[in-house]
Chains A and B, each alone.
Chain A
Amino acid sequence: MIRMRRVTKVYKGNVFALEDVTLDIEKGEFAFLVGPSGSGKTTFIKLLIKEEEPTQGQIYIADTNIGQMRKWKVPYLRRKMGTVFQDFKLLPHKTVFQNVGYAMEVTGKSRRLIDQQVPEVLKLVGLGHKLDSFPDELSGGEQQRVAIARAFINRPPILLADEPTGNVDPSLAEGIVRLLEKINSGGTTVIMATHDKQIVNAFRKRVIAMENGRIIRDQDRGVYGYE
């Protein structure tokens, strides 16, 4: 599903955010991307959604080399990937329903389809009763569920989550990951960047550990580390 070949990303000032990264993530996998902040996790995700371009190397998504992709096709690439961020990125003046419906609206879906599917997905993430709430009326955990619902509403084959539990109460963090696991069980490839050791150790998924922009460990059913 995702193939990276010798990918290097150098930011201005000779900062190596990613160095010589090669890996494969198969369809339907659930992978944790772990490492301290500054290890390159966010750059990894930005490269996948083509928000940044690699300095060197190739990235293939569903066998398409996204480095050679025409600019106008990028939005269609992004529709294949739902993205969830630490800071939720919800629109404060729109309701929960509108925030999720927005992702469908933007891709030109009909009002009828939106009215039908948004409540379904919000029910899936456990917010079926909060359709008309505004983001600031919700807890951090609930806001992140809205963000996940938005990322998942168009049923993308890939779901990327960058520190999705970072701004969520630790007692609710597990619920967020359970939700991602549920989405993964439907066949969606899930990549979750995190430095939450407890979560990683509790779920026992594939762990890709990064440090200073390099992959230092990649193991199935792994743990966070040995520290």
Chain B
Amino acid sequence: MNSVKYFTSETWASLRKNIILAVAAIAVVCVSLAILGLVVMGWDMFSNMIKNAERKVGEIDIYLTDLTMEEERQAIQDFIISIPEVDPNTVVYKTKGEALEEFKERFSDQPELWEYIQENPLPNSFELMTKDPKNVGVVVSKIDVESPYRERIEDIRSASSAIEKLENIFDKFRQIGIVAVVALAVVAILLVSVTIQVAIFARRREIGIMKLVGATNWFIRWPFLLEGVFEGLVGSLVAVLVALAVKVWILDRLVENLAFLRLSFSSGLLAVLIPCMLVGGIVIGALGSAYALGRFLEV
């Protein structure tokens, strides 16, 4: 008990003496963890958006060339219906005439869009739904590879290809975020270790005397280790506050105001994220001081 009091008072005295460096180290710990928090929250938000979108999207459009003969069209249709993942009741053949009528109807208030069309540019097409939206990719590739008269199929479109693109973008975003977090964490560890080195140097005389009077190695190390952990913990606490502020003031409003994007947060996200950030700060602090102790404190 006596020793605990001793360690904390030594740690505190050293931090105060070293305040500028300590603040710098705390700031970098804070920035790295705040970015971690933002990346995780952003990622969660967008992946939920994608999930919400995917739930809706089991639709596939297949466009045929104008050269397609009736029996070819029939063969293709039979093939599509025979795919087990396809919901056969949803398979609809739409002629180019029907498609144009539909188009005209949809844009009836903007007749300039279709008034001057001489020749119908829209293709004949199939529309269909998969039984499970998850299988869109499977169905698309089956049609793409196995369909009879493949050369008559001009294009296969599904919303999932758009989602895939989005996913790729968010993957990049996440990768960049992770790299930034790791790089900043390394800088934070080094900066904490610099503050501990300075603290060790400032107290080298005292350390020499401690060894002389028989202090154990851990007795000498503890205050320095605590100093690093304290810096990491303070940094992570501030980072948690920053992340919460960004969530409340910016992200929550984004979710509210861009309702059509169906952004949302997973429930329990913060209950996982906040402890992770705090532990991250403690680990950064401990690693930083352990590095300094290993290199600069020969006990």
Distance in angstroms from A111 CB to nearest chain B CB is: 6
Say whether A226 faces chain B, with CB atoms less than 8 Å apart: no
Question: Given known contacts A78-B213, A150-B213, is B2 in contact with A89 (CB within 8 Å)?
Answer: no
Question: Given known contacts A72-B217, A91-B205, is B2 in contact with A106 (CB within 8 Å)?
Answer: no
Say whether A118 faces chain B, with CB atoms less than 8 Å apart: no
Please report the C-alpha to C-alpha distance between residue A105 and residue B2 in the assembled complex, in whole angstroms: 8
Question: Given known contacts A75-B215, A76-B214, is B6 in contact with A105 (CB within 8 Å)?
Answer: yes
Say whether A83 faces chain B, with CB atoms less than 8 Å apart: yes
Please report the C-alpha to C-alpha distance between residue A49 and residue B6 in the assembled complex, in whole angstroms: 25
A91 (CB) vs chain B CBs: closest residue = B206
A112 (CB) vs chain B CBs: closest residue = B2
> Which residues of B line the A interface, CB within 8 A?
2-3, 6, 205-206, 208-217, 219
Please report the C-alpha to C-alpha distance between residue A47 and residue B246 in the assembled complex, in whole angstroms: 61
Question: Of B2, B6, B216, which one neighbours A75 at CB under 8 angstroms?
Answer: B216
Verify B208–A89 contact, CB threshold 8 A.
yes
Question: Given known contacts A72-B216, A91-B205, A106-B219, is B2 in contact with A78 (CB within 8 Å)?
Answer: no
> Which residues of A line the B interface, CB within 8 A?
49, 71-72, 75-79, 83, 89, 91, 102-103, 105-111, 150, 154
Chain B: interface secondary structure?
Answer: helix
Set of chain A residues within 8 Å of B214, measured between Cβ atoms: 75-79, 103, 106-107, 154
B215 (CB) vs chain A CBs: closest residue = A106
Set of chain A residues within 8 Å of B216, measured between Cβ atoms: 72, 75-76
Verify A83–B3 contact, CB threshold 8 A.
no
13 chain-A/chain-B pairs, Cβ below 8 angstroms: A49-B212, A72-B216, A75-B219, A78-B213, A79-B214, A89-B208, A89-B212, A91-B209, A102-B209, A102-B210, A102-B213, A105-B2, A108-B3
Set of chain B residues within 8 Å of A78, measured between Cβ atoms: 211-214
Please report the C-alpha to C-alpha distance between residue A71 and residue B298 in the assembled complex, in whole angstroms: 11
Question: Of A76, A83, A110, which one neighbours B2 at CB under 8 angstroms?
Answer: A110
B208 (CB) vs chain A CBs: closest residue = A89
Distance in angstroms from B86 CB to nearest chain A CB is: 71
Verify A108–B213 contact, CB threshold 8 A.
no
Verify A103–B213 contact, CB threshold 8 A.
yes
Please report the C-alpha to C-alpha distance between residue A127 and residue B96 in the assembled complex, in whole angstroms: 110
B6 (CB) vs chain A CBs: closest residue = A105
Verify B215–A107 contact, CB threshold 8 A.
yes
B212 (CB) vs chain A CBs: closest residue = A83
Verify B211–A75 contact, CB threshold 8 A.
yes
Verify B6–A89 contact, CB threshold 8 A.
no
B203 (CB) vs chain A CBs: closest residue = A91
Verify B213–A106 contact, CB threshold 8 A.
yes
A151 (CB) vs chain B CBs: closest residue = B213
A84 (CB) vs chain B CBs: closest residue = B212
A89 (CB) vs chain B CBs: closest residue = B209
A77 (CB) vs chain B CBs: closest residue = B214
Set of chain A residues within 8 Å of B211, measured between Cβ atoms: 75, 78
Question: Given known contacts A75-B217, A91-B205, is B2 in contact with A108 (CB within 8 Å)?
Answer: yes
A79 (CB) vs chain B CBs: closest residue = B214
Verify A107–B213 contact, CB threshold 8 A.
yes
Verify B217–A111 contact, CB threshold 8 A.
no
Distance in angstroms from B204 CB to nearest chain A CB is: 12
Closest 5 pairs between A and B when the two form their complex, measured CB to CB: A79-B214, A106-B215, A78-B214, A103-B213, A75-B216
Q: Which of B6, B213, B214, B215 has the most CB of A within 10 A?
A: B213
Please report the C-alpha to C-alpha distance between residue A166 and residue B208 in the assembled complex, in whole angstroms: 20
B5 (CB) vs chain A CBs: closest residue = A111
Set of chain B residues within 8 Å of A89, measured between Cβ atoms: 205, 208-209, 212
Q: A89-B209, A91-B206 are in contact. List 8 more A-B contacts (CB 8 A).
A: A49-B212, A78-B211, A83-B212, A102-B213, A106-B213, A111-B2, A154-B213, A154-B214
Verify A106–B208 contact, CB threshold 8 A.
no
Distance in angstroms from A90 CB to nearest chain B CB is: 8
Please report the C-alpha to C-alpha distance between residue A78 and residue B219 in the assembled complex, in whole angstroms: 14
Q: Which of B2, B206, B217 has the most CB of A within 10 A?
A: B2
Verify B217–A106 contact, CB threshold 8 A.
no
Distance in angstroms from A71 CB to nearest chain B CB is: 8
Set of chain B residues within 8 Å of A105, measured between Cβ atoms: 2, 6
Set of chain B residues within 8 Å of A79, measured between Cβ atoms: 213-214
Set of chain B residues within 8 Å of A76, measured between Cβ atoms: 214, 216
Q: Which of B209, B211, B217 has the most CB of A within 10 A?
A: B209
Set of chain B residues within 8 Å of A106, measured between Cβ atoms: 210, 213-215, 219
Set of chain B residues within 8 Å of A102, measured between Cβ atoms: 209-210, 213
A50 (CB) vs chain B CBs: closest residue = B211
